[in-house]
Amino acid sequence: MAKTKVTLGIDIGGTNTVFGLVTKDGECLHQSGVLTLADKPAGDLFNRLFEKFHTIFDPVKDQYELCGAGIGAPNTNYYTGQIVSPPNFNWKTENLTELLKKYIDLPVAVTNDANAAALGEKMFGNGRGLKNFIEITLGTGLGSGIVVNDEILYGSDGFAGELGHITAIPDGRICGCGKKGCLETYASATGITRTVYELLSESSCKSKLRSVSFADLTSKMIYEMAKDGDEIALKAFDRTAKILGRALADAVAVFSPEAFILFGGLANAGDLLLKPTKKYMEENLLQVFKNKVKILQSGLEASDVAIIGAAALIWNEI
């Protein structure tokens, strides 16, 4: 029986590291994971990761031909294979491709999570057939993977594509990166909770959100309350969309993409976010770009996308 060709996709997050085997059609098989335990050295994670991998893979390895392994992780550099001082990790600069080679003697590659998502989207999701598009991941922060002429934009040093850290509001909200007014301080799951508190401070209208503490507030709760017609929650989506829409219009002026594809927790709000974002983007577009650029939701399963994207790194190369 012919073996099924698969690549191993690994997504290293601050809390969990997940992995799975991905076929060339983008199917994710034997998905599993381990705790990242980011306060311990990288080698510790890799030991536990590959112990678990072999537990799962060895019994079925006759069915598969493993062709390589890709990693998606924060602050990684595609060119060098390094992860550089990732926030919330007790790691300094680690060469992840070299580390990975110790466990798996096959083609390996790393990239940041948003680039991996863009690549997964391009090969298996709503980016299929698009030569120029921008994947926006709206999670705790805002990540972006930018596809120019069918290729991920890495720039001169491998760290390009940080739309989350363009200045949305000069001298605005303090960002985790040390700058002020970065787009992700407004347009992200964390950003919208900050916006709710801004709105609560500005007005005195009634809102169920007045009884939720900042620490307890999630973007999902804001979404639920917006669906129930809560005025503050609705305004929070509108204000988020206004800032995101304007930033997307700026990205259009620079990149002229065919589409934006939104992914992640906040993007799950669907039309509540997408419709006003589209409206504000159109308002801010140069005439020549009006009514040309789509805003789509991701076509990938949320639970798989990080793994599929990481695995796509290898599918893209072979």
Q: CB-wise, 23 or 316, nearer to its own copies? A: 316
DSSP state of 289: G
- Distance between CA atoms of 235 and 226, rounded to whole angstroms? 8
CB nearer to its own copies: pick between 273 and 281 = 281
| Spatial contact of 78 and 154, defined as CB atoms under 8 Å apart | yes
Residue 53, both tokens: 């991998």
Q: Name the DSSP letter for residue 180.
A: B
Is there a contact between 45 and 91 (Cβ–Cβ < 8 Å)? no
Closer residue to its own copies, CB minimum distance, 18 or 117: 117
We find the least distance from the C-beta atom of residue 159 to its own copies, in angstroms, to be: 5
168 closest CA partner among 185, 146, 188, 144? 185
Residues that bind its own copies (CB under 8 A): 75, 84, 131-132, 146, 148-149, 151, 153-163, 165-170, 177-179, 246, 249-251, 253-258, 284, 286-289, 292
Structure tokens at 289: 């770009």
**Position 120, amino acid:** G
Tell the smallest beta-carbon distance from residue 239 to its own copies (Å): 12
The least CB distance from residue 314 to its own copies, in Å, is 21
CA distance 127 to 139: 19
Q: Tell me if 10 sits within 8 A of 19, measured CB to CB.
A: yes
Q: Three-state DSSP class for 182?
A: strand
CB of 126 to its own copies, least distance (A): 15
Residue (157 or 228) nearer to its own copies, CB? 157
H helix or E strand, kind and range, residue 11: strand 4-12
Instruction: State which amino acid sits at residue 225.
Output: M
**Closest distance between its own copies and the C-beta of residue 253, in Å?**
4
Q: Which is nearer to its own copies, 53 or 133 (CB)?
A: 133
- Please identify, using beta-carbon distances, which residue of 251 and 261 lies nearer to its own copies: 251
CB of 255 to its own copies, least distance (A): 5
